[in-house]
Structure 1
Amino acid sequence: MGVTTIDLAIIAAYLALSVGAGFWVSKLASQSTRSYFLGGNKLPWYALGLSNASGMFDISGTMWMVYLLFVYGMKSIWIPWLWPVFNQIFLMMFLSVWLRRSGVVTGAEWITFRFGQGLGARLSHLVVVVFALVVVLAYLAYGFVGIGKFAATFLPFQLLADPQANANAYGLIIVAITSLYVVKGGLMGVVLTEVLQFFIMTIACIMIGVIAINTVSPEAIAAATPAGWSNPFFGWRLDLDWTGIMPAANQKIAEDGYDLFTFFFLMLLLKGVLQSLAGPAPNYDMQRVLSARTPKEAAWMSGLVNVVLTPRYLLIAGLAVLALVHFMPTLNTMGDDVDFELILPFAMREFVPVGLLGLLIAGLLAAFMSSFAAAVNAAPAYVVNDLYRRYVNPHGEEKLYVRLSILVSALFIVIGTGIGLLVSDLNELIQWLVSALYGGYTAANVLKWVWWRFNGFGYFWGMASGILVALLLLVSDSIGLPDAITSLSAWEFFPILFAITLAASVAGSLTTAPTEREVLHDFYKRTRPWGWWEPVRKSLSEAEGRRIAANPDLARDLVNVVIGICWQSALIAAPMFLVIGNTFGVLTAIVVAGVLSVALKFTWFDKICDYPVDVGAAEAEAWSQTHDEPVGNQSLRKRAEATV
């Protein structure tokens, strides 16, 4: 069918609107670094929730999930636990509240709040900045790979003869356009455009779902797929045999290593729970939490994300079934060289009508721009706020910091795009990002919540070992690591990586002195996590001359996590069942989601507190003010000021 002049006009109008919105709010963003990075903590929770969901609705991830549904059927609803998708449930139930109580600007600044201002704390502060910047570059490369493949399939001009070079050229052009509003507008520009993008994408998702339901029958889907494709449940093995339908799909399943599906599922669950308990990586997700007006609104924002992402699965299922029924012969002609990541753009090009195609392309461009914008906006927060401002120039003017933030954003766009030019396999990049890089983050960041004796040195050695091993895995073929290691996929290597980083974290903590008592008191009093904090609670009670209550909510929070994961899975499954025509599945998922929503009203929503119940109103109000910094950050800033 192809892109028409009408479609191109819709796309151009959308791009102009996004760039214009970014420039429109640029004056507000340039007032201060807190305005640039956190929107001055004035953005409402529902805007932040829509923005966060929009940032997660990325084009590369959508292409990957369309391929997963195409090949693995309804069993694919479990595979995104690799990220894991249910980390939003942990944030919703308790982690967002714990994080927002700190009042800091970035994840690296939060580390100082937790560990203070000694040598170990400074090392942990620096290593989390390094990790955050590696994550930003990985996300920028990941987004660039997806948008290049997508745009080259649709846009009518052949810029370069080589297909890969042509895709890269389109990727560079779209990155340049996106950079205009991201760099200029800061978080306010990002949130404003992402809310706009969310509504465009939602309309496009619903319309694609309707087209698929009206043009593809359940019988046609059954004829185009192997037995068991429409069943989300599984035995020990995957048991999907594409022989006689599409042999290349069998080869892809073997390459992915998911055939022993029960083992894979249990590993996903273990890995997902540990990574979710670690809390968000220092990227756009944490930035949205820290941007909320109050801890309670931070929890609401994380809960909203799970609901508003539901229409995305109409798009994923709609494009997958259109490709299954109408595009299978074309894919089979590619033989073993079929690129499953191109299913999404091919299905759109062939089956989406004029006008709607332009809107859908605009929506998916919006998805790319959202995730790209979120990553770009995170980079200067760490370089300018956590490095330059703290260690080089603590007394600079706010406008200087904002100008440097713009410069850093531009630099990271260039570097991330350069890395993207070297990457061709989106699935391998996703596997490394979510299993190796985030896997190395897990142990140290679980311990920081639950163990009082864990200190800055432990955090540094745990994180540093994780980053080093993840980078070695990325270049394992080039440096000659043993076959026993290189033969493992990133998710299979996760238990080994977790054990290495856990040992480094514990050893680093027990061989060095504990964190300063004043810092531990301030952290525990504000955050009030559950775990092994009894010595801190007792000494804090003695210091204040009153009983400081422990967090009694461990059991309730864990039960809510189980309820929340089931609730989220039902929200994901319902639109997919709707598109494939499984009426019983749709009704079951809706009933489960409805019943669990009522349960969460009483077990979660009604129980959220901005601050611990034994904290006075005046003290809580003081903590909510941006000038009243945590003890660890006060000490670090005083130290920096004394050296100038």
Structure 2
Amino acid sequence: MNYLGTLDYAVIGSYLFVLVVMGFYLQKKASASMDDYFLAGKSLPWWAIGISGMGWSLDITGTMLIVSLLYILGPRGLFVEFRGGVPLGLIFVMAWTGKWHRRSNCMTGAEWQAYRFGPGLPGSFARVLSAVAGIVFTLGMLAYLVKGVGLFLSTFIPVLTPLQCSLIMVGVATLYTVTSGFYGVVYSDIFQAFLIFAGIIVVTVIAVTNVSSGQELAELSGRISGNSDWMTSLPQIQTDMPRAYEMYECLLMFTMFLVLRNLINGFASGNTPQYFAAKNERECGRIACLWSSLLMFRWPMMIGYAILGLYLVEGMFPDMAVLDQAVQLIHQNLPDIPKAQWPDTLSRIANNSVDYPQIAAGLEQILGGSWRETIHMLSFEGGVNAEKVLPAVLLHYVPVGFKGLILVTLIAASMSTFDSTINLAAPLFTRDIYQTYFRPKSSNKELLTVTYIFTVLLVATGFLMGYTTKSINEIWGWVTMGLGSGLAVPGMLRLYWWRFNGQGFAIGTFAGMAAAIIQKLIWPELAEQWQFVILTIISLTFTIAGTYMTKPTDRSVLENFYKTTRPFGLWGPFRDTLPPTVQTALKKENRNSLVSLPFIFVWMISLYMMPMQLMIRDFRAFGISLIFFAVAVAGIFKFWVGNHHSTDALEALEAGK
């Protein structure tokens, strides 16, 4: 089969060449100082950072994962991706946490700990643990990205295994990220955004032209996915799920867990380069709003892939029973295959069938003469591997030339996430550990060299983790529900409770991080909702115990923090010291921020759901969503937009009057 044409390869090669050239072109500008390298000198316009943020939220792995969930569940797959594919943290950043962090003038989230807890031992302890936790979280993200890139590209380059494909792409991404810093992150993301939108248009048009009616799609989806409620937009109490996805059967309950988890994580959000790099605090909300809005275009593309996947699987496997037969044949002949190496094993069988004569003969008998093409659709458990739906659709539905464009679109999305993730982690080591505690007087050149070396080692470690991961759904579930839950409680309390101290933060962070790693090593099959419950309780227990076992933070540090950040929550002893006019202004600002939150939430969910409802021709559900959307927009204008202008009392407070 002709997987890609010459034009497709030319498009991909040109794209990678432009990225590398862009990285070296921006190297001089990025290397002027650490502030330039990691935050682009806080000189970029808010709309550029917002577009870059959208690119950070798009990647091959995440798109494959969400398409797989939409293929299985229909529009309801959106609720499973409250894990992270739906960036609910942005509603908190948009409402208040972004501007709170920007007011610190820090460079990293770890440096922010010294601003919150002071420069002494408690603040240093918290800073180091925050940096280590951020690096560990990045390793999980890199493993997730590496796994997906390999699975995706190996479908189109059959002479390479998933491992080799991910190695090539990660190498290119590391090269241009290391050379250009945050300038490269933003400028490359803007360049890649145009490619992403072009790909979205092409896929959406192809999907729309293939659906003749909603009734036809309802019948097809029920027959192929095995889910009679595929067209439904709301999570249900009990949902039919295929093997390996049983944890989502109680979809409504799982969604409630995810909402609770996002509340905890969201209250702690905003400590990323996008907001530290904003010109001022007001632009933080605009960045988050634009970021959220642009992600709306992702959902019609992904439901489009899912719809085309239903048609494709029907054409490939008129008799779905052959899928289980083929998988049983492979397991019988290769009984010791670990799930993590399943994709590589299928690739070897397809590309080197002479080494597996018995399996090849059996697969040809079961799947037919095109078995080398369809074998990649087999899941480890039997049935269709939903995570392969996206590349299979691209391979079979998109014509030559456009295929290269869509491939570049998805590669660009993955590169955007990769470079932003690296840029987030690198300063945690260079600035918060190396420069602060080992070489305070190190030159800019030395710091850049250390950053380059650390980045390469970080990527290599993440690559090894990705190779041993069973599936992208598994690693994403652990990163968001396991490790993320273990780190969320200390991150939240640091903003809203004056008594919380650096020791409590460090102890809680260490306990949550260690518990998540131990769980991953010893009990990897633990359901995601129980990862959330158990690890949150462990982190909360150690956080509270560590706080009350040690002394409070120095009052002068807390006074400076409260005066500059102006958070709400348990800050009574410091709020009461302010003049009455300032207290009144603060209460109004904070009240409007809190009231705007549910409106922003409804706005985001309806914004993402409506395009999918149009794509599946469910116009009644679209009309209901549109009503919710209109009410949410009205609330945003009243409480969020109206909250942008600081009162005279707050401006006087900022000026220290």
Category of TM-score, reference length = shorter chain: 0.7 to 0.9
Query: How far 1:586 sits from its partner (Å)?
Result: 3.3
Counterpart residue identity of residue 343, structure 1? V
| Structure 2 Cα separation of the partners of residues 551 and 92 of structure 1 | 18
Would you say the 8 A contact 2:563–2:653 is kept in 1?
A: no
User: Counterpart of 1:251?
Assistant: 243
Once residues 16 and 219 of structure 1 are traced to their aligned partners in structure 2, the CA distance between those partners, rounded to angstroms, is 46
| Whole-Å separation in 1 of the counterparts to 2:535 and 2:648 | 35
1:13-162 to 2 correspondences below 5 Å: 13-83=14-84, 85-155=87-157, 158-159=159-160
Structure 2: stretches of 5+ with no match in the other structure:
223-227, 325-381
User: How many equivalent residue pairs?
Assistant: 589
Amino acid corresponding to residue 99 of structure 2 in structure 1: V
TM-score (norm 2): 0.86
Choose which of 196, 203, 210 in structure 2 pairs with 1:208: 203
Measured after TM superposition, the shift of residue 487 of structure 1 is 6.2
Residue 511 (structure 2) pairs with residue 511 (structure 1): no
* Displacement after TM superposition at 1:562 (Å): 0.8
- Quote the offset at 1:237 in angstroms: 1.5
8 Å Cα contact 2:564-2:654 kept in structure 1: no
Note the C-alpha offset of 1:445: 1.4
More moved, 57-66 vs 17-26: 17-26
1:528 corresponds to 2:566: yes
Q: Are 1:194 and 2:157 matched, yes or no?
A: no
Going from structure 1 to structure 2, the CA distance change for 1:510 and 1:89 (only over 3 Å counts) comes to: same
In 1, Cα distance between equivalents of 2:108 and 2:417: 18
Matched, 1:297 2:274: no
Deviation readout 1:402-448 (Å, 9 max, x if unpaired):
22212221221222112222223111101100011000111111111
What is the Cα deviation at residue 182 of structure 1?
Answer: 0.5
What SS class does the counterpart of residue 125 from structure 2 fall into?
helix
The match for 1:558 among 586, 591, 594 is: 594
Provide the C-alpha distance between the structure 1 equivalents of 2:654 and 2:237, rounded to a whole number of angstroms. Answer: 57
Conserved? CA contact 2:582–2:650, under 8 Å: no
Structure 1, unpaired ranges of 5+: 160-165, 241-248, 478-485, 622-644
Q: Distance in 2 between matches of 1:540 and 1:456?
A: 25
Any conservation in 2 of the 1:31–1:399 contact (CA below 8 Å)? Answer: no
The answer to whether the 8 A contact 2:306-2:390 is kept is yes
Work out whether residues 582 and 653 of structure 2, in 8 Å CA contact, stay in contact via their aligned partners in 1.
Answer: no
Q: What is the alpha-carbon root mean square deviation over aligned residues?
A: 2.2
Letter in 2 for 1:470: A
User: 2:618 aligned with 1:582, yes or no?
Assistant: yes
**Using the alignment, how far apart are the partners of 1:70 and 1:605 within structure 2?**
37
2:298 to 308, 312, 315: 312
CA gap 1:115/1:348 in 2 versus in 1, 3 angstroms? same
Pairing 1:278–2:268 present:
yes
* Alpha-carbon offset, residue 473 of structure 1: 0.8
Residue 265 of structure 1 corresponds to: 255
The question of 1:386 aligning with 2:432 is answered yes
For the Cα contact (< 8 Å) 2:61–2:145, is it kept in 1? yes
Aligned mates of 1:328, 1:340 — CA distance in 2: 13
Change (3 A) 1:607 1:620: farther
Is the contact made by 1:29 and 1:186 (CA closer than 8 Å) also made in structure 2?
Answer: yes
C-alpha spacing 1:539/1:276, structure 2 compared with 1 (3 Å): same
Mapped partners of 1:252, 1:475: distance in 2 = 19
Q: Which residue of 1 aligns with 2:490?
A: 444
Read off the aligned partner of 1:14 and give its amino acid letter.
Y
Question: Quick check: 1:537–1:549 contact (8 Å CA) kept in 2?
Answer: no
| Contact 1:43–1:293 (Cα < 8 Å) also in 2 | yes
2:637 aligned with 1:606: no
Q: 1:4 to 1:547 in 2, by over 3 A?
A: closer
- In structure 2, the CA distance between the partners of 1:234 and 1:494, relative to structure 1 (3 Å rule), is closer
Q: How far apart in 2 are the matches of 1:194 and 1:525?
A: 36
Letter aligned with residue 171 of structure 1: S
- The DSSP-based 3-state class of the residue aligned with 1:154 is coil
Distance 2:147 2:547 in 1: 40
Residues 22, 185 of structure 1: 8 Å contact kept: yes
Which residue is 2:364 aligned to? Answer: none
**Secondary structure in 1 matching 2:530:** coil
Aligned counterpart, 1:626: none
Contact kept in structure 2, 1:23 and 1:189, CA below 8 Å: no
Shift of 1:618: 7.6
Deviations 1:103-154 (A, max 9, x none): 0000000111111122222111111111010011111111110000111001
Deviation at 1:514? Answer: 0.7
Superposed CA deviations along residues 576-609 of structure 1, whole A, max 9, x for unmatched, are 1122122333344345334422431221023125
Contact 2:55 2:416 in 1 (8 A): yes
Residue 432 (structure 1) aligns with = 478
> How far apart are 1:66 and its partner, in Å?
0.4
How much identity, in percent, do the aligned residues show?
29
SS at match of 1:117: coil
CA distance, structure 2, for counterparts of residue 31 and residue 425 of structure 1: 41
